[in-house]
Structure 1
Amino acid sequence: MTALDEPVDTTGLRGKLTPDAPLAKLVWFKAGGKADWLFEPADLDELRLFLERLGGRLPVMALGLGSNMIVRDGGVPGVVIRLGKPFAKIETHADHTLTCGGGAHGILVASTARDAGIAGVEFMRGIPGTVGGFVRMNGGAYGREVSDVLIDCDVVLPDGTLVTLLAAELRYTYRHSELPEGAVVVRARFQGEPGDPAEIGAKMDAIGEAREQSQPLRTKTGGSTFKNPPGKKAWELVDAAGCRGLKMGGAQVSEKHTNFLLNVDDATSADIEGLGEEVKRRVRANSGVELEWEIQRVGRP
């Protein structure tokens, strides 16, 4: 591509705009195609200016850690926005609230809260992602979820407009929100409560140990694959359907935790998604339950 192909006038922008940007290295599965364009803004004003100049001509998708995502092999159309260090700041306040940038990691949010004696967000230690991602998906772990603690969030709309949305406006349900399509979460405020740093740290350690014992952490995976159906656990349904260790191409159902899919042998995203669909088919045949994807699947097949 040439400069003439760029989707916006980049004059005065300090951030990085990359054409045909490989995304596999940016997602946990280490598989998938390229983004037509990848933009990494230098700060909030620049993100707004970029999107204002883009003027809605191309679809926009935000990318955090890529921990709960399948990027399809045909790549992602339009512009992928990746928030870096300028969006990862965390502040604590006397009223036991936290103000967190959309690019802040969940484990850092929990650790910062612990050090400030703020309880109630320990569960974020168990969410492998960034604030923007788990605000969008109502991320949760170990009995709590974002909707329990979110006060409000700042989001940049695809036209560059910055708006503040109250938690109630996101209409949270299990692993779902009604955040506007293409909106980028740049800041969130969470409500905690007074707590003892030692006790908070002990809870975080317990969460870390539980994850270590039950989940395939040091693998190419996407985290929990399917939502838990009401009153049931997805992993138990997958196991009962005989899918533990099931393989398709280079993808495999984890033998350690059957609600995790793994890239074990240079899997394509088609391998991974196809394996997930086969697991859904077998669970439906065995139990009559229709599993729903929790992992976000994006891009062209």
Structure 2
Amino acid sequence: MTEPALQQQGLSAPALRGELRLNEPLADYTSWRVGGPAQRLYRPADAQDLARFLSRLDADEPVFWLGLGSNLLISDAGLPGTIIHTQGCLNGISQLSDQAIRAEAGASCAKIARVASRLGLVGAEFLAGIPGTMGGALAMNAGAWGGETWPLVRCVRTIDRQGQIREREQAEFRFGYRQLKGPEGEWFLSADLVLQPGDTQAAQARIRELLDRRAATQPTGLPSCGSVFRNPAGDHAARLIEASGLKGKRLGGAEVSQKHANFIINLGDAKARDIAALIDLVQDVVERSSGIRLQPEVRRLGAFP
């Protein structure tokens, strides 16, 4: 957005260096390829620019963060307020020591895994299978193939809506399977990850093995959010969904994947309401047939019928 347009929004004294877009359609920003417009979408130039931007927002302005959009279902009606979009920015990855790297919130998990392996650091290979960014992985303690994000974390940097940046230790957070509890009203800017020295070639071979397994078992070429539901204790969501006869079930343009039942795919013309309705249907049918109510991993943003 141009400087005059930023001034009209009351966001440019001193000048912000990021990119502001108004009424920006969000379907292109989410892995499900659905979602209405954002009232405002801001892509900051760096953490200091973001701090200035946040400090100028009204106290009651809704604020959402969006990375690769792989764990979000955004309403067809769109979102009021402001989205902070980190894809293509706040995405640095740097080596801190022979056992630690710093990954910013907008860095993709897959890239973090690759960079760590090139540095001869092991323990982050599982991140290659997470279709999101560091910020999203921290927010939900994302994991894959037996690995989880937070056991790697030494400390994080956060920012609040006043633009104040803090450093927090891992001990200030409580994490479990696909969940995290910590200080309220703060978002992640970066994380310092502690890894182990290891063999680069072995780590890269492990990443290739995991990606090959993912491609063989998941519908990676179709719009989806990744796994829709958490695995219940002692079982797998995909098994419960398949046992309930829901593999291939369609509502509108949304379908329970025939390749992996814990994926819902957009066949090309799905709306967010189709996906939301299919999620609700899966929960209801599985609960009736098994007594277990599946809990979604995906977050819904905006108004749904």
TM-score (norm 1): 0.95
1:79 is aligned to 2:82: yes
The 2-side partners of 1:237 and 1:17 are apart by 44
Query: Is the Cα contact below 8 Å between 2:74 and 2:272 reproduced in 1?
Result: yes
Identity value in percent: 36
Hey, what does 1:145 align to over in structure 2?
A: 148
Determine which of 177, 181, 204 is the counterpart of 2:207: 204
> CA, structure 1 residues 162+105, in 2 after alignment: closer, same or farther (shift >3 Å)?
same
Runs of at least 5 residues in structure 1 that lack an aligned partner in the other structure? none
Determine which of 122, 132, 135 is the counterpart of 2:135: 132
Hey, what does 2:110 align to over in structure 1?
A: 107
For 1:147, the aligned partner's letter is W
In the TM superposition, structure 1's runs of 4+ consecutive aligned residues that sit over 6 Å from their partners are: none
1:292 is aligned to 2:295: yes
Hey, what does 2:12 align to over in structure 1?
A: 10
For 2:242, the aligned partner's letter is D
- Residue 241 (structure 1) shift: 0.6
Hey, what does 2:173 align to over in structure 1?
A: 170
- Residue 281 (structure 1) shift: 0.5
The 2-side partners of 1:146 and 1:108 are apart by 14
> CA, structure 1 residues 215+40, in 2 after alignment: closer, same or farther (shift >3 Å)?
same
Runs of at least 5 residues in structure 2 that lack an aligned partner in the other structure? none
The 1-side partners of 2:184 and 2:160 are apart by 8
Hey, what does 1:277 align to over in structure 2?
A: 280
Q: Which aligned pairs between 1:220-235 and structure 2 lie closer than 5 A?
A: 220-235=223-238
TM-score (norm 2): 0.94
1:36 is aligned to 2:2: no
Hey, what does 2:23 align to over in structure 1?
A: 20
> CA, structure 1 residues 90+206, in 2 after alignment: closer, same or farther (shift >3 Å)?
same
1:267 is aligned to 2:292: no
The 2-side partners of 1:104 and 1:143 are apart by 21
Hey, what does 2:67 align to over in structure 1?
A: 64
Residues 173-195 of structure 1: CA distance to partner in whole angstroms, max 9, x if unpaired? 21111245553321111010011
For 1:131, the aligned partner's letter is M
> CA, structure 1 residues 154+274, in 2 after alignment: closer, same or farther (shift >3 Å)?
same
Query: Is the Cα contact below 8 Å between 2:35 and 2:271 reproduced in 1?
Result: yes
Query: Is the Cα contact below 8 Å between 1:47 and 1:160 reproduced in 2?
Result: yes
The 1-side partners of 2:69 and 2:289 are apart by 32
The 2-side partners of 1:278 and 1:16 are apart by 39
The 2-side partners of 1:67 and 1:6 are apart by 32
Hey, what does 1:192 align to over in structure 2?
A: 195
- Residue 84 (structure 1) shift: 3.9
Q: Secondary structure at the match of 1:226?
A: coil
Q: Secondary structure at the match of 2:226?
A: strand
The 2-side partners of 1:181 and 1:30 are apart by 30
Query: Is the Cα contact below 8 Å between 1:21 and 1:36 reproduced in 2?
Result: yes
The 2-side partners of 1:81 and 1:28 are apart by 17
Q: How many residues align?
A: 300
The 2-side partners of 1:4 and 1:191 are apart by 40
Query: Is the Cα contact below 8 Å between 1:132 and 1:185 reproduced in 2?
Result: yes
1:50 is aligned to 2:53: yes
> CA, structure 1 residues 6+288, in 2 after alignment: closer, same or farther (shift >3 Å)?
farther
Q: Secondary structure at the match of 2:255?
A: strand
The 1-side partners of 2:55 and 2:181 are apart by 22
- Residue 54 (structure 1) shift: 1.0
> Over aligned residue pairs, what C-alpha RMSD do you find?
1.7
- Residue 14 (structure 1) shift: 1.7
Determine which of 100, 120, 123 is the counterpart of 2:123: 120
- Residue 275 (structure 1) shift: 0.3
- Residue 300 (structure 1) shift: 1.9
Residues 219-243 of structure 1: CA distance to partner in whole angstroms, max 9, x if unpaired? 0111100000111100000001100
Mean Cα deviation higher: 240-249 or 198-207: 198-207
For 1:9, the aligned partner's letter is L
For 1:151, the aligned partner's letter is R
- Residue 55 (structure 1) shift: 4.4
Residues 182-218 of structure 1: CA distance to partner in whole angstroms, max 9, x if unpaired? 5332111101001101111111111111101000001
